[in-house]
């Protein structure tokens, strides 16, 4: 594996490349052109400039998270072919610049959903949290309003104000879309983009839906082992792979995370590893990465990655806000750096243990 950190770009991130460069064992970033809207073409010049900035800081781009998919592609809307053409153009430009990993998601309307962005834990840190009761009691617009005040001034992925202003329209687009239809639209998208991925050796890594069930009545499909198998079989090509995100699949306690990892050998292109603490099956908060702080056995997760011969990029995912840091919720420096160091330590011991 290759340890990385997500970086939103110098315009948006409170964390600098210089800081990332000093985390032991981190040699690359996972980044994006965060100011571009889904559907826009990423030009070669923009990609080149981003690469240069990262490389000048002594790091490399290990992959893109995310090239977001336009809602017309997810709903099979009238303009989907135009937006797929744009997506293909972006992939070609990334390929020409030697970038070979693209993380994306196929979640309707929202990216991940949390009901609190700063829940206080016993140690005084604050974390993102989710309660089903809060979602059931709110409509999506109100939920946007309640979290908007807690973002520390950052724009949250998938919750951009421009998009939220159109939320009614977005819901309207999904009124006839069920899970089956969403799968079909994903298949259509993948069949069109995979020839270009084959040409440039680009691994597409779909990110799971977070939480891993339907919210606000919208269909969600990338939620469990059976559905990932269906997605991979539907377009059976090694470039059609997944991002294994423990904190997203792990929202559903029925998902056996190490077992899922083992079932993804050869198709697991990118890993997000973080821990969750459950207060009940429908009330969880994001814990420190350490196993004993939450519900997951991080050693077993890392061991499963080791056993399938995982060589791709991995990153700590959301961190807690600690030591007075003010940053985009989930994306501060300190706790993610602790997470990276811990995951590196687990990996070293697993690797050495296996060689003995």
Q: Where are the alpha helices (DSSP H) in the chain?
A: 17-21, 44-56, 71-75, 80-96, 132-137, 140-148, 161-164, 167-173, 179-200, 225-234, 246-249, 257-262, 298-307, 334-355
Considering only 104, 284, 296, 342, the residue that binds ligand CS2 (CB under 6 A) is 104
- The answer to whether 289 is a known catalytic residue is no
Member of 53, 111, 150, 300 binding ligand CS2 (CB under 6 A): 111
Does the footprint of Mn ion cover residue 272 (CB under 5 A)?
yes
CA-to-CA dists, residue 110 to 47, 210, 293, 329, angstroms:
26, 9, 28, 16
In this structure, are strands 313-316 and 28-31 parallel, antiparallel, or unpaired? unpaired
76: Cβ–Cβ under 8 A, 6 or more apart, which residues? 177, 181, 184, 185, 188
Residue 267 lies near ligand CS2 (rule: CB under 6 A): no
Question: Is 103 labeled as catalytic in the residue annotation?
Answer: no
Q: Which is nearer to ligand CS2, 34 or 306 (CB)?
A: 34
> How many residues line the site for ligand CS2 (CB under 6 A)?
14
Angstrom distance (rounded) from CA 88 to CA 173: 23
100 is a catalytic site residue: no
Residue 222 touching Mn ion (CB under 5 A): no
Q: Is 5 in the site for Mn ion (CB under 5 A)?
A: no
Instruction: Look at residue 105 and give the partner it binds from ligand CS2, Mn ion, none, a contact being a CB closer than 5 to 8 Å depending on partner kind.
Output: ligand CS2
Would you call 197 a catalytic residue per the annotation?
A: no
- The nearer residue to ligand CS2, 65 or 72, going by C-beta atoms, is 65
In the complex, the smallest distance separating the C-beta of residue 353 from ligand CS2, rounded to whole angstroms, is: 29
Residue from 274, 327, 316, 272 nearest 118 by CA: 327
Closest C-alpha to 106, from 127, 136, 81, 76: 76
3-class SS at 131?
strand
**Of 104 and 347, CB closest to Mn ion:** 104
Is 272 an interacting residue with respect to ligand CS2 (CB under 6 A)?
yes
- Under the binding rule (CB under 6 A), the answer on residue 207 touching ligand CS2 is yes
Active-site residue, from 87, 103, 209, 245: 245
Pairing mode of beta strands 240-245, 203-207: parallel
Paired residues of 237 in beta bridges: none
- For binding to ligand CS2 (CB under 6 A), which residues are involved? 65-66, 103-105, 111-112, 157, 207, 210, 245, 272, 317, 330
- For binding to Mn ion (CB under 5 A), which residues are involved? 245, 272, 317
Name the residues annotated as catalytic. Answer: 207, 245, 272, 317-318, 331
């Amino acid at each position: 594996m290759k340890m990385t950190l997500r970086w939103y770009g110098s315009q948006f991130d409170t964390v600098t490349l210089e800081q990332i460069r000093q985390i032991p064992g981190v040699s690359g970033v996972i980044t994006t052109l965060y100011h571009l809207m889904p559907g826009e073409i990423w030009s070669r010049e923009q990609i080149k400039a981003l690469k240069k900035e990262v490389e000048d800081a002594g790091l490399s781009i290990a992959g893109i998270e995310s090239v977001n998919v336009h809602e017309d592609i997810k709903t099979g809307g009238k303009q989907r072919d135009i937006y797929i053409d744009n997506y293909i153009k972006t992939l070609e430009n990334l390929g020409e610049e030697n970038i070979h990993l693209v993380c994306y998601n196929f979640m309707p309307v929202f990216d991940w959903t949390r009901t609190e962005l700063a829940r206080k834990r016993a140690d005084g840190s604050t974390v993102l949290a989710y309660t089903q009761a809060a979602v059931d009691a709110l409509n999506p617009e109100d939920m946007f309003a309640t979290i908007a005040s807690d973002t520390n001034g950052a724009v949250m992925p998938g919750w951009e104000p421009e998009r939220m202003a159109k939320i009614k329209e977005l819901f309207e687009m999904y009124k006839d879309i069920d899970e089956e239809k969403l799968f079909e639209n994903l298949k259509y998208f993948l069949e069109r983009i995979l020839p270009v991925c084959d040409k440039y050796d680009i691994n597409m890594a779909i990110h799971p839906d977070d939480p891993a069930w339907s919210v606000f009545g919208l269909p969600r499909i990338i939620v469990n082992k059976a559905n990932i198998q269906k997605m991979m079989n539907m377009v059976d090509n090694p470039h059609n792979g997944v991002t294994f995100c423990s904190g997203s699949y792990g929202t559903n306690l029925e998902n056996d995370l190490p077992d899922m990892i083992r079932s993804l050998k050869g198709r697991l292109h990118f890993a997000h590893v973080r821990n969750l603490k459950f207060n009940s099956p429908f009330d969880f908060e994001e814990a420190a990465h350490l196993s004993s702080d939450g519900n997951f056995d991080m050693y077993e997760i890392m061991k499963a990655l080791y056993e399938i011969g995982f060589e791709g990029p991995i990153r700590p995912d959301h961190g807690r806000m600690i030591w007075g840091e003010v940053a985009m919720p989930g994306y501060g420096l300190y706790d993610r750096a602790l997470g990276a160091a811990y995951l590196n330590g687990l990996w070293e011991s697993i690797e050495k243990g296996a060689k003995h």
